[in-house]
Amino acid sequence: MTLNGSTSNRVGISRRTVLSVGTGFASASAGFGGASRALAADPAPSQLTVAVIGDGRTGVWASLRAGVGGRNLEQELGTKIVWQPGFTASLPVMEAIKAGSVDFTFATATAVVNAVPARVPIVPLAAYPLPADEVDFLVQANSSIKTAADLKGKKIAHQNGTTGTYSLIKYLETAGLRLSDVQAVSLSGADAFTAFAQGSIDGWIHWQPATALALTKLGGKSRLLPDVKTYDYAFYVARSDVALEYPQLFAKFVKIIRETQAYIFAHPAESVALWASQGGFPPNGTEQAVYEKLVRDARLSESTAVALKPIDDAAAASAQDLADNFHALGVLPNKVDDHSCSAPSSTRRRRPLRWSSARKRPHENTRETS
């Protein structure tokens, strides 16, 4: 998937929008650690459309939809929630936000930095670092590939413009290699698994649960490369016009997400059994065991959402490093300049969120983003 870029030299999120949303969000989120079970009294839209990445039958959204821990999300937020499925990753959600069909979503930094130069009207509200071991790199069990240096010239599958791409870039750097030194093939998780199982690619880098499930299904036919890390941050972002009008609602929603993930982490067996009952996978089977281990080991993308908080300098710096790498390698056609990715807090004034982009010359845009 390719997001359509802007034709202007510099684009970004409106300063006025960010300051307005940031002030309201920071004020509402000042009690981030407190309870959020009180009935919603703040203004709310008649409905809120939330993106569902994957099948929506596992993770925070599945637990909230099932009313885990006695929660009633719609009652707490004071609005009807419309769950919009059909997304394979957070990057395609950005196009839906641009079209006005999604109001709120989980998004990795890779999706955010792709969205800004494409003029997707988003406001990042809160962030947390993804698990450092969320991404795995699979190779064939009998492969000669042992380290990053052995990847030169090999055919490697990744979902372009995603967390997997960034981990691949950083892993190659440990051996002094660039993305252009390998035969990088952009495939979705499902297509990459098929290609890997058929032996038509040399390696596959992706995130959980896909890689853990693949290892289980393939048995002794595959193995993992060592020292592969995840560097991405995760964000929760809202469509800017909705965020501007209802900052208190989104602050409350972010708190609910954090509390729900804490519940999942504290009750792994119960949570995974609930997902199985909702059709996420067959009950009491291999997939359920894999999911439970991933929850216990905190390796799923939402596992570290227990650390979800208003965006700070660390999240901004991480996103900037990612954007710089993507632009230098042609993965991101426009240069994104993140001077600050933090909204004003309730205790001290921060610089506003300023994302801008410099348009590349047309002939330089040689890679598409998924």
Provide DSSP, 267-324: -HHHHHHHHHHTTSS-TTSHHHHHHHHHHHTT-STTGGGGG-EE--HHHHHHHHHHHH
Locate 40 and state its tokens. 């919603």
pLDDT at 16 over 50: no
Is pLDDT larger for residue 232 or for residue 140? Answer: 140
Cα–Cα separations (whole angstroms), residue 190 to 199, 207, 211: 14, 12, 10
Cα–Cα dist 277/294, whole Å: 18
Instruction: Name the CATH code of domain 15-131+233-291+299-364 (choices 1.10.8.10, 1.20.1250.20, 3.40.50.1950, 3.40.190.10).
Output: 3.40.190.10
* Contacts (Cβ under 8 Å, ≥6 apart) of 219: none
pLDDT at 11 over 50: no
Q: Where does the pLDDT of residue 157 fall: very low under 50, low under 70, confident under 90, or very high at 90 and above? A: very high
Q: Where does the pLDDT of residue 334 fall: very low under 50, low under 70, confident under 90, or very high at 90 and above? A: confident
Residue 139, Cα to own-chain centre: how many angstroms?
A: 24
Cα–Cα dist 246/41, whole Å: 12
C-alpha count within 13 angstroms, C-beta hemisphere, residue 134: 24
Q: Where does the pLDDT of residue 197 fall: very low under 50, low under 70, confident under 90, or very high at 90 and above? A: very high
Q: Identify the burial level of 142 via C-beta atoms within 10 angstroms of its C-beta, where 0-12 means exposed, 13-18 middle and 19 or more buried.
A: exposed
Pairing status of strand 222-224 against strand 309-310 = unpaired
pLDDT of residue 209: 95
**Residues of 221-243 as b/e, b for ≥16 C-beta within 10 angstroms?**
ebbebeebebbbbbbbbbbbebb
The 10s digit of each residue's pLDDT in 20-57 is: 444 455 555 555 555 455 444 678 999 999 999 988 89
Cα–Cα dist 296/271, whole Å: 11
Given strand 155-158, what is the order of strands in its sheet?
183-186, 155-158, 203-207, 135-140, 222-224
Task: Give the end-to-end CA distance of the chain in Å, rounded to a whole number.
Answer: 4
Q: Where does the pLDDT of residue 326 fall: very low under 50, low under 70, confident under 90, or very high at 90 and above? A: confident
Q: Where does the pLDDT of residue 338 fall: very low under 50, low under 70, confident under 90, or very high at 90 and above? A: low
Q: Where does the pLDDT of residue 327 fall: very low under 50, low under 70, confident under 90, or very high at 90 and above? A: confident
pLDDT of residue 354: 40
- The whole model's pTM is what? 0.82
Domain 15-131+233-291+299-364 shares a fold with domain 135-224: yes
Dihedral, CA of residue 54, residue 1, residue 149 and residue 336, to nearest 10: -110
% residues pLDDT > 70 (the chain): 80
Question: What residues pair up with 158 in beta bridges, in sequence order?
Answer: 186
Residue carrying the six token digits 């406001």: 123
Locate 309 and state its tokens. 């908080």
* Contacts (Cβ under 8 Å, ≥6 apart) of 90: 51, 53, 105, 106, 107, 108, 110, 111, 162
pLDDT of residue 142: 97
* Contacts (Cβ under 8 Å, ≥6 apart) of 313: 340, 342
Q: Where are the domains of the chain?
A: 15-131+233-291+299-364, 135-224
C-alpha count within 13 angstroms, C-beta hemisphere, residue 358: 8
Q: What are phi and psi of 318, to 5 degrees?
A: -65, -45
In the DSSP assignment, the letter for residue 158 is E
Pairing status of strand 155-158 against strand 203-207 = parallel
The 10s digit of each residue's pLDDT in 203-245 is: 999 999 999 999 999 999 999 999 999 998 999 999 999 999 9
Average pLDDT value over all residues in the chain: 84
What does CATH list as the number for 135-224?
3.40.190.10
Q: Is the dihedral of CA 156, 157, 161, 164 positive or negative?
A: negative
**Residues of 270-294 as b/e, b for ≥16 C-beta within 10 angstroms?**
ebbbbbbebebbeeeeebbebbbeb
Cα–Cα dist 159/125, whole Å: 25
Is pLDDT larger for residue 55 or for residue 148? Answer: 148
pLDDT at 76 over 90: yes
Question: What residues pair up with 206 in beta bridges, in sequence order?
Answer: 136
pLDDT of residue 128: 96
pLDDT at 341 over 70: no
% residues pLDDT > 90 (the chain): 67
